[in-house]
Amino acid sequence: MMDKKELKPINHDFLNHISAVLDNARKNAKTAVNLSMVYAYYEIGKIIVEEEQQGKNRAAYGKQLLQELSKFLTDKFGKGFSVTNLKQMRQFYMIYSTDQIGQTLSDQFENLPSVDSGRKFFLSWSHYLKLMRISNEDERYFYEIESVKNDWSLSELKRQYDSSLYERLALSMDKDKVYRLALEGHHPETAKEAVKDPYVLEFLGLPELPEYSESELESRIIDHLQQFLLELGTGFAFIGRQVRFTFDEEHFMVDLVFYNRLLRCFVLFDLKIGELKHQDIGQMQMYVHYYDRKVKLPEENPTIGIILCKDKNNAVVEMTLPEENSQIFASKYETVLPSKEDLQKLLEEQIEVESK
């Protein structure tokens, strides 16, 4: 018989592996239950609408119907079936019985059932309660697709909506590509489409500081790297901070270096807390040229350079950058959430100009 002293300690990787399997199973089970309830609420909404349409005095009949149904379901199933909740189910059916999500997304979830209209659902009921409050159909499509693709929690969906992600992306696109946002989500194909202006960094917690340095801004970004990657968008991977290279016996540091898997190129960030100067653009041009000539592989695409600044003069940017340059950008950053109304107005004005 083996002495207890000879027993080897249990491998922690083994324990963690088993734990991960169970965590994943529980998550999948929870997801399945949530999705089942979404489909059930859609069906309840459908039945309510069909019943209301048979009532002679629809307004009065509908009110009585919901009150009696609420009492019946609450007595039988408990909480969750107030008149307000039933109205939300009715609204859910009325909104989603007539629309179709992008086919690409549906193809990725062939195992999910379809409702009578052919529509599939991918998110929790809480997600759809938020989405239903978005009146613009194209915008609602976009946030649903991005939530699924990026596995956004409800809080992240709210944050992306509050930061006006749809409008900020659309401002960098022509009219046809804005339409594609609603069908496919964000799939950057060019350097310009991968860059936002402005970037919203309210999660850094900087507004309370009367002043801060560029190193403080950089440190805050690193401390909130996961949120910063979400703000950057699809396909970004972090490479390093203060990445050093030597050129002509002089040392240089790139503040932040990322790689975008979709565009297959390096993306360099230079951080500026004041107004952008033409020297800053010249410096970024040198960084980009070095990476293109010394770092990137032949099969990779040209490097993108982004100068992230608190303020910029567009005239200075236009005069400093060559007209043919399509790889270097100057973007403002906001430490508070921007006005959604202002961005929507800018987008509407841009689309109107392009339509003429």
My answer on whether 293 and 351 are in the same domain is no
In a domain, 3, yes or no: no
Give which of 63, 111, 305, 107 is closest to 191, Cα–Cα. 305
My answer on whether 218 and 324 are in the same domain is yes
Contact 328, 284 (CB under 8 A): yes
Identity of the highest mean pLDDT range in 34-48, 181-195, 198-212, 341-355: 34-48
My answer on whether 267 and 322 are in the same domain is yes
My answer on whether 179 and 237 are in the same domain is no
My answer on whether 90 and 185 are in the same domain is no
User: Which range has the worst mean pLDDT, 57-71, 131-145, 160-174, 228-242?
Assistant: 57-71
My answer on whether 147 and 259 are in the same domain is no
My answer on whether 205 and 333 are in the same domain is yes
Number of structural domains found in the chain: 3
Using pLDDT thresholds of 50, 70 and 90, give the confidence band for residue 16.
Answer: low
My answer on whether 182 and 220 are in the same domain is no
**pLDDT tens profile 163-185:** 888 888 887 776 677 777 777 77
Give the H or E element holding residue 240.
strand 236-247
Contact 42, 92 (CB under 8 A): yes
**pLDDT tens profile 274-313:** 778 888 888 999 999 999 999 999 999 999 999 998 887 7
In a domain, 2, yes or no: no
In a domain, 34, yes or no: yes
| Rounded distance between C-alpha atoms, residue 194 and residue 200, angstroms | 15
My answer on whether 80 and 153 are in the same domain is no
What the block records as the tokens of 192 is 């310009």
In a domain, 8, yes or no: no
Q: Which residues contact 307 (CB under 8 A, 6 or more apart)?
A: 269, 270, 272, 276, 280, 281, 284, 328, 329, 330, 331
**pLDDT tens profile 249-279:** 889 999 999 999 999 999 999 998 877 888 8
pLDDT of residue 236: 93
In a domain, 6, yes or no: no
Of 109, 124, 153, the last residue of a domain is: 109
Full residue range of the structural domain in which residue 290 is found:
199-337
My answer on whether 205 and 313 are in the same domain is yes
**What's the distance, Cα to Cα, between the start and end of the chain in Å?**
89
